[in-house]
Amino acid sequence: MNAGIVSPKVRKSTKRRIAKEKLEKENKLNNKTDEEIEVIINHEVALEDSHPRKEKPKYFGEVTELDGSNHLWFGTKKSCLHLAADEATNNIVGGYFDWQETLFGYYNVFRQILLNYGIPAKFKTDNRTVFNYERVNPSKRTADKDVLTQFGYACKQLGVDLETTSVSQAKGLIERDNGTFQDRLVNELRLNNITTIDEANKYLNEVFIPKFNARFALDYKKFESVYETSPSAERINYTLAILSPRKIDNGNSIKYKNEYYQPYEKGRLVCFRPKTECLVIKAFDGKMFVTIDEKIYELRKLQSNQKYSKEFDIISLPTSKKEKKKYIPPMTHSWKLASFKRQMKRAHEQHIYA
């Protein structure tokens, strides 16, 4: 109290007394009557305690706020609603339920935006998931928990600016929308007997968000849009990927999520020296690739045991069916280990100094 640090739960009378003492120190109460002093104390509010209204962006798609809200949305287990709102028009442009605040949840919201509107100019989000990631034991950290790096890298590939903040007032629109959704959506999900995450996602995007935008948001078609043309579905699939640096082991394998994988090229196993650095890519649809020395290879999971024995199992021969050739994307997707490491370093330096 003597240092000027006041508890947020302090009584109003104490706040008034402290405000009066502050004004007296600044000599702002000279020649003031008691009534004038009361008016000043009652009406003036410190800037940090107020929430002044801000100007909204001019264009649709100029700034999109992102956030995750953990709540008992449906059923008996808490889940997280990943939400995106356009600052200029108040439109909800994407929403997705997952059991926790995850990279996959944000990727689903990003994918909805890309498919329905195009490439936005800027995302504004918090860095709470990075706080969680930083607290995890280094030996247990996984790439899919490092949302800031992964999501930021995807934004970089599509030319989307990413601004992160730990101040909730900086993204007040999405914070208020989360509160409104908690008041309204929870009741609607209960009234419609929705208890599974798939049902909740379907109702959210097909019913609730369109109804919410029609009632509370402005008509975005009346605003000039700065959304860029949406990329192809193929590029979206390979851009919204989880990237994980790895090294080839002595058995020419890569360990990823307690499974072993080996690189193949045109159906042929390719061998590399142990400790060769590589970048494992898990595309949005789950397909696995790896980049080694600026080249992309298909990853095939190595089974711990063979599916059948040539000596003891009688296998009915299947009808001859030509194996479908697997598409290998070109290196234009910027799946390069060096650039991803630079992004990781930059993202965490910005997080530390923020």
pLDDT block averages, 10 residues each, the chain of length 354 = 77 78 69 71 58 82 93 93 95 95 93 96 81 59 70 89 80 89 94 94 96 94 94 90 91 91 92 92 92 89 72 61 62 66 70 54
* Own/partner pairs, 44-47, CB within 8 angstroms, 24+ separation: 44/19
- State residue 134's pLDDT score: 58
Cα-based distances in Å from 211 to 92, 182, 208, 225, 354 = 10, 15, 5, 22, 37
CB 171 within 8 A of CB 126: yes
Amino acid at 290: V
Q: Where are the alpha helices (DSSP H) in 97-160?
A: 103-116, 128-135, 147-158
- State residue 288's pLDDT score: 92
- State residue 36's pLDDT score: 72
Question: 3-state DSSP call for residue 155?
Answer: helix
Phi, psi for 309 (deg, rounded to 5): -105, 130
- State residue 208's pLDDT score: 97
What tens digit of pLDDT does each residue of 177-235 get? 999 999 999 999 999 999 999 999 999 999 999 999 999 999 999 999 999 999 899 88
All domains of the chain, ordered by start, with CATH? 12-49 (no CATH), 64-236 (3.30.420.10), 239-313+324-342 (no CATH)
| pTM of model > 0.85 | no
Q: Two tokens at 198? A: 């798939």
SS3 content of the chain, % helix, strand, coil (to 5): 40, 20, 40
- State residue 289's pLDDT score: 92
What tens digit of pLDDT does each residue of 180-195 get? 999 999 999 999 999 9
Report the alpha-carbon distance of residue 93 to residue 62 in Å, rounded. 13
